[in-house]
């Protein structure tokens, strides 16, 4: 179920939205706003995941054995590339 919201924007900002619609990049002003909100939410989610990963590695750092395994895996991956 969708809900309508009202957002105030400067004339310049609305003109920029209209330019995106006129260029064919988006079908409507609402489409521009939805895409922007979707991008913002995805960025924030990605940043939260990054922080969680960093927190995990800070609380439980990798062992020397795990680091050695990771280094070997990276080297092998690079060797497999058809440079």
For 17-75, the pLDDT digits (tens) are: 999 999 999 999 999 999 999 999 999 999 999 999 999 999 999 999 999 999 999 99
pLDDT at 3 over 90: yes
Cα 44 to the center of its chain, rounded Å = 7
State pTM to two decimals. Answer: 0.74
Nearest to 29, CA basis, from 48, 14, 47, 49: 14
């Amino acid at each position: 179920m969708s809900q309508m919201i009202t957002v105030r924007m400067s004339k310049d900002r609305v003109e920029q939205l209209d330019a995106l619609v006129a260029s064919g990049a988006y079908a409507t002003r609402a489409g521009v706003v939805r895409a922007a909100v979707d991008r913002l939410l995805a960025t924030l989610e990605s940043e939260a995941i990054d922080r969680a990963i960093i927190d995990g590695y800070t609380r439980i750092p990798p062992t020397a054995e795990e680091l050695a395994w990771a280094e070997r895996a990276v080297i092998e991956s690079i060797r497999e590339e058809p440079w």
